[in-house]
Structure 1
Amino acid sequence: MAQNSQVLPGKEATLFRHLVQNYETKQYKKGLKAAEQILRKHPNHGDTQAMKALILSNLGKSDEAFELCKLALKNAMKSHVCWHVYGLLYRQQKNYEEAIKAYRFALRLDPDSQQIQRDLALLQVQMRDYAGYVQSRRQMLQAKPGFRQNWTALAIGLHLSGDLAGAEDVLQKYEESMKHTPSRSDMEHAEAVLYKNSIIAEAGDVQRALEHLDGIYKTALDRTAVMEMKADYLLRLDRRAEAEKMYTKLLKRNPEHRAHYAGLEKALDLDRSTKEDQEKLGQAYHSWAEQSDRIDAARRIPLDFKEGDAFRQHADKYLRRMIKKGIPSTFANLKQLYSDSAKKETIRELVEGYLEEEPQANGGAEQSKPDGQTNGSTKAQIKPPKLDPVTTWQLGVNYFLAQHYDYHLSRDLTKAEKYIEKTISINPAKSDYTYHLTRARILKHRGSISEASQAMNEAREMDLKDRYINTKCAKYQLRNDQNTDAVNTMGLFTRKEAVGGPLGDLLDMQCVWYITEDGESYLRQGKLSLALKRFKAVYDIFETWQEDQFDFHTFSLRKGMVRAYIDMVRWEDRLQEHPFFTRAALSAIRIYLLLHDNPELAKGGGSANGESAEGAAERKKAAKKAKREAEKAEAEKKAKAAAKSQPSKGGEEAETKKEDQDPQGLEAFKLAAEKPLDEAMKYLQPLLELSPKNADAQVAGFEVYIRRKKYLPALRCLLATRALAPEHPKLKEQDDRLKSALDNVSEPLPDKVKQVIDETYLSKLGSKTSAGEGRSDT
């Protein structure tokens, strides 16, 4: 906000500078006061009006801010301040396209403004307009070539746009222009050099990347990353002996890192599929395991490639060791092997053979630690007292078999129940919930959801201070449609002063798993408005995560964490392929389809099962109660804030979280019913784009497109489902519906669409009617 297009007298000009400072320091009330003083004498001063609009927007008065900013533009059309503020207002509304237009106009009026240029660049990278971002960053670099961040940012833009050679060249030129050698503690320089190395490797020039890495090897601050990069380069260059040494060094630093073992296997040029190499690998892993009794990975990994008698012997040794130590995660470590039926059967035979055995008397001190904790572990002091070897052995064997028979690849729930009950009966530590948790899981798999929920709650009551079991209990309660009980259970670990109670805090904390499970529970109960409200909350959380990257565009550059920033940008690009987004999106689409097929649902209070007068009265009563509780929580929060002796400087501008005016989601549900298919598309598009191999997403896509009469996309989804899941239960039904729809289109299809459908679909079905000819009576 450098200069004003309308010149103010000295006193008002000083006030305007204070106004800008007040905005930047978030002292909004002082800023408004200063703006009012200026506007009393100069009511048409556009820049002051624009700054006042910006403050109003930050106070939550968006409509008033836009009106005032438009008035400011009318009074000062050629003011870069007004256009800049106009762009900022649009950015706050997440209307990035309009914001970019406003910034560009502001730059025409003030081409030298670094602040406008920076804001424009941030929006361009947020929108993934890499060409525009490179152009903006190049201009910023030309304006301030002595500022390292400008060089790095340009390199990032070129890298993300695919110009790897250009990105490396920019970083190289900056290094050549440096007048002083950076200190060894210069984190920004160390990260930039490693970033340059990763660009060289990504371009495919591995030899040059290795040579460059050797040059910076001793001065690099991230030792582990440098060693991993060097080991990878050596392996890719087929310099196996050197790669073996490097992976050996890495394993000495972290002997539990499986990726390093995989790299070592490649460096040794050993093939897991040949018997001779299996023996050599077994010897190598044995030597690693002998280095410390605490190493698990070197003992566990050979089970992945050993077969037959060799597997039986090694599995026997491994199982005995783990069971003697009393490690509850033994089954979790081995269940990956169950995809091989022979190995699964071998493990079962071994463990069932242990039932009649007792451990050796000289089991050692470690046998008395149920959790496998070391003597120095704080957790071991909190856990139950030491167990004798016999009890430890019996617990381990029975608990393993309970999990074995509960697992979906070896499921026999009758046996699973027998073994878990035996485990619980011999467990001397009655306060240990681990075995009761597994008992609840077995009941869930049996289909006894209510009993499973009750059993999990009993497990929770054994340790009221444990957040994990508290969370599991809430999940089981939601699966049993005990929504009130679940939120109360979660409330034991939420902030008491949160607006909206425990649910409000879970929403604030973006607890996606709970919100998704809660929504699915309401959907099962036919409470569509509440279900849709929860799924919309999940959608909004992912939107927030998308928006949250905005601050990192500058933060990562300022801190010099460039490689982590690149990873973050690429992760954000695929954010919505997350399983929780998929679950919420598919459920939301299902509700929108119900609304489209039966618009009367919107008039029934959001219930798919109908609702009696008594039920409606109960619902209204619950809504009023929730509103009263929210108001009470808000009043308590305000009282606590008022009780503070002196608020902080920016405290007056702190935004207070408002109560939920639509706790049952009824108003939003009615709005969604106006254009349900348009709303469904918001969820469907990221699903089809980022999760194209999800058959359920393709089925949902067909349902939406067939209702929109978009027959070509519907056909694409149908063919994708057929390729992904030929036995999908909805496939035959959708096939018939599409054929029927094509045989009875009300209007002829476009020629190109008709041709594609005929060639890819109808011709293979032998349909008598060609696509798009329409009905005979039209």
Structure 2
Amino acid sequence: MPQQLSPKERSLFSTVVRSYEDKQYKKGIKAAEQILRKNPKHGDTLAMKALILNSQGKTDEAFALAKVALQCDMKSHVCWHVYGLLYRAVKNFEEAIKAYKFALRLEPDSVQIQRDLALLQIQMRDYQGYLTSRKAMLAARSTFRQNWTALAVAHHLSGDLAEAEQVLTTYEETLKQPPPRNDLENSEAVMYKNSLIAEQGDIQKALDHLESAGKHNLDRLAVLELRAEYLAKLGRNEEAVKAYRALLDRNSEHKAYYDGLVEVMDISSTDLEVRKAIYDEYAEKFPRCDAARRLPLDFLEGNAFREVADKYIHRMLDKGVPSTFANLKHLYADSSKKEILPSVVQQYIDSKKSETSDEPKRSGDTSKGNSSAFYFLAQHYNYYLSRDLDKAMEFIEKAIELEPESVDFHMTKARIWKHYGNTQKASEVMEQARELDVRDRHINTKAAKYQLRNNESEKALKTLGMFTRAETVGGPLADLHDMQCMWFMTEDGESYARKGNFGLALKRFTSIFNIFDVWQEDQFDFHSFSLRKGQIRAYIDMIRWEDSLRDHPFFSRAALSAIDVYIKIHDKPLTNGANGSAETEDDAAERKKAAKKAKKEAQKAEREAAAKKSDPNKPQKETEADLKKKDDDPEGLKLAATTEPMTDAMKFLAPLLQCSPKSIDAQIAGFEVLVRRKKYILALRCLLAAAAIDAEHPKVHEHIVRFKQAVDTDAESINPTSAEIIKSEFTLLPASKSLAEYNDEYLSKHKSSASSILSALRVRKLLDPASSLDKDVVGVLALPELTLETAMSALELLKSWKSPEVESFQSSAAAKWPKANLFQSSA
């Protein structure tokens, strides 16, 4: 039973609560202890003390005290509420929800508990539970607009659009007078209701609502865009034409407006002259408009395309616009346009003047136009669809000769060297570009990225340190982590992985994994903030974005790289839990050096912590900063020393497979991990998914054979039910053919593809380890379509076989790619 407090102690308890809310933790602890001296088993006071301890960073002590509080008073809603708050603080939302529900049973009328429960339910996507909570909150405070809007959102997210619309309509009917026009919350609610109507498919009703309730809406652009869209869907083309023209008058650079206008004007896709006339009209109306001149190039062909391209390119080159090629390169998907564009630029260079441009060239200055033309051609020959690196280098040198101080020109030169396969030279040239403008963050970032590609991690960190905050504890690396600079962590991790420093590689990839966790957790504050500010449409968009958060390319790339590292650790375990594979004495020395450095840093951090006086009222933010300083694994030694690498890899693999099921790389990585864990049914699922995406992919072919071998080898240990499932589902391998025949058939079918040949050779080696296939691998160098990346894969294959042909392959590859530094003997 709860103990009753005297009036003086009740006053002290109020002081405890206020002190917690005002972050006066020392004062709150003092007041709580005064109460507990006379009432040592007062559950509410114990709970509040636990909450304060948790805010001071004493999480374990707080949980222990909260459990004592519950033992003292199991029927106190305060104790259960605090218990839920503690679980919420450590991101254990499931347990927090259970605690909140207990608290709510004891105190059904508590608005605070109900709100905290609702926020966790939407965070966990428990839409039915969220709907129940929001109905209860609305019943308690039916005059509060946020509760009506939140209930509509709950119905919307649970899939009941009609009920969501009805909730908003019901609230509108309760208003005695319409809200003022400048009411932002009402304006957003009107647009949200309109989106609900449209999402149900009743376009006419949505248009009627837009033209009545949304007539004076504060989001004028959204109203105009939706009106044009609705009119187009309803087939009211004359009105839709006027609507799209009104939008183009507001923004003549928006491509979607042109597309909408052309569509509602019922212009045939073959009537190119009429379509072009629309763009010409706006080009004349808005002389500085780029879109009206650029977009016709998407659909024009032949001489008409050449004529418009000539005018457009001359105009852009005269102005010296650096992004001209970037704006046109997607036209290269059409082979005829790919031939016309560089010829137009070459004619511009040959003419030495602009004869077709409506705008005159700069008086007496032709160098700007010529340098821009050379720059365009350099990019053209550097582009993968029209690559000729020698010509690209020739033109970029000409451009640099005319404008030696151009950062863009030097950046492209560095990119050409990268495509040559010379990462060292590319890094050097990009550094020269950076030195031309040391105050430009973009070129600073590019220089650091190229240094990382050249495995110069320390140099890259120093480069980025020029733009990080000098006062950040931990230096540039800590600041880059604080800023969630994922491109750096990805590139740095891949650099360390290439060097065999698996500890630091995993450290970087884990940091990216944690950032995505932070992004998922950060949405928690927006569940209440968005309702409070009335930004409902943006809130719905955020919820949907968060649901597919981990299909982001940054996560996919980091996850695949981390899985690859774990696979290498599994296949060749690291000795002594150190970074890299212990093959040489130098590696061992490096590991000892890194471990010694890590030990010194840990001892230094402990000394600093002991010397520093602890402040009980210190804000939580400072406590987190201190924890970041006390990194108990700065070199990633513990990560690399894992005894269960495949289990650790699942942390990255599970969200990858869930959010990127159509990625063949994800399915291949899934197979690699699961087949090593002997989870054959799950591995088969990944294999079937990969085959559905691309049945002829080299890795798919290789995995079909590996799966068959693995299942046959472990046939006795596989559960009979699982064996039956595998037998019925695994139909990728023809029953009438042996593995060798199946492999030979694949090889003959893809004898011109280097990657497919390498895959078939791996399978041959797998089927017959004694076979000598080294010469066959070297033979792929003769293939005309062989890429630099595939050649590197062939070299790695020879190294894995410890082939005597490694040096021969390197010398032959170096002759084929003389400017690459990837085939040096030390590689």
Q: Could you state the TM-score of these two structures normalised by the residue count of structure 1?
A: 0.90
Change (3 A) 1:628 1:412: farther
Q: Distance in 1 between matches of 2:467 and 2:361?
A: 35
The 5-angstrom pairing of residues 215-294 of structure 1 reads 215-272=212-269, 274=270, 277-294=271-288
- Which structure 2 residues correspond to residues 11-160 of structure 1 after superposition, within 5 A? 11-160=8-157
> Matches of 1:399 and 1:629 in 2, distance apart?
53
Deviation at 1:609, TM superposition (A): 5.2
Amino acid at match of 2:251: N
Query: In structure 2, do the counterparts of structure 1 residues 320 and 631 end up closer, same or farther at CA, with 3 Å as the change threshold?
Result: farther
Deviation by residue 1:295-345 (Cα, 9 ceiling, x = unmatched): 001111100000111111111111011111111110011001011111111
Q: Does 1:491 align with 2:465?
A: yes
Give the corresponding residue for 1:677.
646
Partner SS, residue 455 of structure 1: helix
| 8 A Cα contact 2:56 2:618, kept in partner | no
Counterpart Cα distance in 2 of 1:584 and 1:292 = 45
The Cα shift of 1:163 comes to: 0.3
Unaligned runs of 5+ in 2: 739-827
Q: Equivalent residue for 2:292? A: 298
Q: Does 1:420 align with 2:396?
A: yes
Give the stretch that moved more between structures: 717-726 or 734-743. Answer: 717-726
Where structure 1 has 5 or more consecutive residues not aligned to the other structure, the ranges are 369-386, 770-778
Distance across 1 between alignment mates of 2:706 and 2:68: 55
Taking a change above 3 Å as real, the CA distance of residues 747 and 174 of structure 1, as seen in their structure-2 partners, is: farther
Structure 2 matches for 1:640-655, cutoff 5 A? 654-655=622-623
The 5-angstrom pairing of residues 323-722 of structure 1 reads: 323-360=317-354, 367-368=361-362, 388-427=364-403, 430-601=404-575, 603-607=577-581, 612=586, 613-620=588-595, 622-623=597-598, 654-655=622-623, 657-658=625-626, 659=629, 660-670=631-641, 673-722=642-691
| SS of corresponding position for 1:290 | helix
Given the superposition, is the C-alpha separation of residues 116 and 608 from structure 1 closer, same or farther in structure 2, using an over 3 Å criterion?
farther
CA contact (8 A) 2:577 2:640 kept: no
For residues 682-733 of structure 1, the C-alpha deviation after alignment (integer angstroms, 9 at most, x for no partner) is: 2112211221221111100111111222222212211222232334332222
Whether the aligned pair in 2 keeps the contact of 1:499 and 1:634 (CA below 8 Å) is no
1:719-772 alpha-carbon deviations (Å, 9 max, x no partner): 222232334332222111111122233446556544443233248521799xxx
* Cα distance, 1:431–1:635 mapped onto 2, change above 3 Å: farther
Separation in structure 2 between the aligned mates of residue 409 and residue 185 of structure 1, nearest angstrom: 53
The 2-side partners of 1:367 and 1:539 are apart by 53
Compared CA separation, residues 165 and 113, structure 1 to 2 (3 A): same
CA distance in 2, matches of 1:151, 1:287: 48
* Structure 1 counterpart of 2:163, from 157, 162, 166: 166
Aligned pair 1:724/2:666, yes or no?
no
In the alignment, the residues of structure 1 paired with residue 518 and residue 583 of structure 2 have an alpha-carbon distance, to the nearest angstrom, of 33
Match of residue 309 from structure 1 = 303
- Residue 529 to residue 395, structure 1, CA distance change in 2 (3 Å): same
Give the secondary-structure state (helix, strand or coil) at the position aligned to 1:218: coil
Q: CA deviation at 1:653?
A: 7.5
Shift of 1:134: 0.2
1:356 deviates by 1.3
**Equivalent in the alignment of 2:751:** none
For residue 285 of structure 2, give the secondary structure of its aligned residue in structure 1.
coil
Contact (CA 8 Å) 2:445, 2:464: kept in 1 or not? Answer: yes
Structure 1 pair 6–746 and aligned structure 2 pair: CA distance change class (3 A) = farther
Distance 1:440 1:600 in 2: 36
Deviation at 1:152, TM superposition (A): 0.4
Confirm or deny: 8 A CA contact 2:379 2:392 kept in the other structure. Answer: yes
Structure 1 pair 652–192 and aligned structure 2 pair: CA distance change class (3 A): closer
Kindly state the Cα deviation for residue 627 of structure 1 after the two structures are TM-superposed.
Answer: 6.0
Deviation at 1:580, TM superposition (A): 0.7
Q: Does 1:743 align with 2:712?
A: yes
Cα deviation, residue 44, structure 1: 1.2
Letter in 2 for 1:101: K
Measure, in 2, the Cα distance between the counterparts of 1:248 and 1:449: 50
Residue 413 of structure 1, CA deviation? 0.4
Give the drift of 1:25: 2.1
Instruction: Return closer, same or farther for 1:218/1:52 CA change in 2, 3 Å cut-off.
Output: same
Alpha-carbon distance change, 34 to 412 in structure 1, aligned in 2, over 3 angstroms: same
User: C-alpha distance in 1, partners of 2:125/2:356?
Assistant: 64
Is the 2:32–2:46 contact (alpha carbons within 8 Å) kept by the matching residues of 1?
Answer: yes
How much does 1:251 deviate?
Answer: 1.0
Partner of 2:96, secondary structure, is helix
Classify 1:753/1:362 alpha carbon distance in 2 versus 1 (closer, same or farther; 3 Å). closer
Match of 2:188 in 1: 191
Against the structure 1 CA distance between its residues 42 and 175, is the aligned structure 2 distance closer, same or farther, given a 3 Å change threshold? same
Secondary structure, aligned partner of 2:518? helix
* 1:474-514 CA-partner distances (Å, limit 9, x unpaired): 11111011100111111111111112110000001101111
Task: Tell me the alpha carbon deviations over residues 34-58 of structure 1, each in whole angstroms, 9 at most, x when there is no partner.
Answer: 2122222221111111111111112
Gap change, CA 1:513 and 1:285, over 3 Å in 2: same
Q: Deviations over 1:76-100 (max 9, x none)?
A: 1110001011111111111111111
Secondary structure of the residue aligned to 1:655 is helix
Specify the SS of the correspondent of 1:484.
Answer: helix
Q: Which amino acid is the alignment partner of residue 634 of structure 2?
A: P
With over 3 angstroms needed to count, the CA separation of the structure-2 counterparts of 1:630 and 1:476, relative to structure 1, is farther
Bigger shift: residues 615-624 or 572-581:
615-624
Partner of 2:756: none
* SS in structure 2 of the partner of residue 492 of structure 1: coil
Deviation at 1:432, TM superposition (A): 2.9
Q: Percent identity?
A: 55
Deviation at 1:393, TM superposition (A): 1.5
Residues 614, 151 of structure 1: alpha-carbon distance in 2 compared, 3 angstrom cutoff? same
Label 1:748 to 1:525 Cα distance change in 2 as closer, same or farther (>3 A).
Answer: closer
In structure 2, do the counterparts of structure 1 residues 436 and 768 end up closer, same or farther at CA, with 3 Å as the change threshold? closer
2:262 maps to a residue whose letter is: E
Deviation at 1:60, TM superposition (A): 1.3
After superposition, the Cα gap between the structure-2 partners of 1:703 and 1:279, relative to the gap in structure 1 and judged at 3 Å, is same
SS of residue matched to 1:338: helix
Task: Tell me how far apart the structure 1 counterparts of residues 92 and 116 of structure 2 sit (CA, whole Å).
Answer: 14
SS in 2 for 1:472: helix
CA contact (8 A) 2:417 2:426 kept: yes
Q: CA RMSD in A?
A: 2.6
Could you tell me the TM-score, scaled by structure 2's length?
Answer: 0.85
Displacement after TM superposition at 1:147 (Å): 0.5
Kept in 2: contact 1:501–1:630 (CA 8 A): no
Alignment length (residue pairs)? 734
Cα distance change of structure 1 residues 650 and 258 upon mapping to structure 2, 3 Å threshold = farther
